[in-house]
Chain A
Amino acid sequence: MSERATESVGQSTAEEQFFKDEHPANRPAETGDPMGMTAESAPGDPELMLTILVEEYASLGMNADEIMRIFDDPFYGATANLKRLLGEDRIRTRINEVVQNCGALRVSVRS
């Protein structure tokens, strides 16, 4: 930890702050805290994002089950976050709707 980071968390040491058994999202904001949240709310439609991501993967040739697997994997941030936000049922329904519309185009590649 750099000197500045230690200073910015006030009384407690940097170590105490970092390892506090508390989820960072629930911590109160602190001025100068290098871990502080800087997010701003922005107008965006997660439903539209979901539809478009599913369309992209359907047009790459993935079927409904294969697309669902991208949403199940916690290491795929975009899709995993959508699933957490909208719920598994909503995702599954949307995938089925889109795939029914698009079909799954299979892309063949020969190197």
Chain B
Amino acid sequence: MNKKTRILIVDDETAIRESLKDWLLEDGYTIDLASCGEDAVAMAEKKNWDIILLDLKMPGMDGLETMEKLKEARPETEILMMTAFATIDTAVKAIKQGAFDYLVKPFDPDEVDMQIKKIVNHKQLVMENILLRQQLEEKSRYDEIIGRSDAMQEIFDLISRVAPTDSTVLITGESGTGKELVAQAIHGNSRRCYMPFIAVNCGALPDSLLESELFGYEKGAFTGAEYTKKGRFELADKGTLFLDEIGDISLKTQVDLLRVLQQREFRRLGGQDLINVDVRILAATNRNLQNAIKEKRFRDDLYYRLNVISIHIPPLRDRKEDIELLSEAFIRRYCIEMNKEERKITPNAKKLLQDYSWPGNVRELENIIERALVIGRGDKITEEDLPFSKKTAPLPPLPKSLKLMEKVHIERVLSENDWNISRSAQDLGVDRQTLYNKIEKYHIKKED
């Protein structure tokens, strides 16, 4: 459930595959197995790994050829070649062709551990840099949460009541509903508002990196820890820490988190001193934590600690009355940003926005408005500016039954051809009479 380091083992010998898998599982890696190069290449079409341990000598597609194909499909994956003594020359060749390194079978535990950690550390460093950049780029813009629906009114009310307290709040809702905005609003309306608001996306980080992000580490705590680093808990001292996608964290991190919540103190990784912090915790998830608890993937004691107060943000499709207000607010904001004259929305475009199901919620609406303002030419946003205008309307979820499928398809072709029967029949590859029969059979009617 968390983003662990993923490793693929490719070897034709079962005992090698299995024993390597067992050993790596002790480190908490996620392991996949392939017994030949062909399988590995096929798997790489659908799956991605951080590291591939690849046997050099296999019947069928050999290690070098497999590596070439894997590198083509997954250039960012590092490959460690496994070889017996007799084939070291080829292993050296493999490095020249892009393998990270090679290991001689049977492995010296020391050596394989070091090689894997080298790759993992390297990948984490890249991640840390990305994180740092994200932090710098994070817009300091304070978004207002908007909505006139009863549900949103209730949320505003709740925010204003819980903000001044120091209570932990669990914010739930589908992705794109604006959980972080609610967290920011709680922080912004609290006595902590002049202190930092620190957000961590727990779902985006591999377990070990999340641990060091949250709690920091001392120089030398692990290979690659070349300096002492403060964690987000320390950075959020006197302020608010927002833990997004809390449903994705590992059992181990759950324990650490629980302890900080209970005792308000923790140690940096590799550190001796207890560090006290005064942090308000806000957490959010789009997962059903109750289910996760039942499946023993989430601790109930942590859940009760986090869920002191809960705020649920309903999906946009359940509060359609907010769509217009939100659209107008986004238009205002982006027109200012783009230095454009403010635009209105035509009634037809409004209806399209109103009727759409918004699986991506408010974020999707925001993106669509921004896009419409960029591509639109007139002084109004029209149907043409929306990605789901008639001609490009996203298809409704496909029906499972073949019959229904046929009906839906005929409806679509008819509407694309403005109910011109000849053209529709031609598109469908049937004659006019057949089309008439189908229209009758399925009771298809012209809309409007």
Asked if A and B are interacting partners, one says no
Q: Which B positions have Cβ atoms within 8 angstroms of A?
A: none
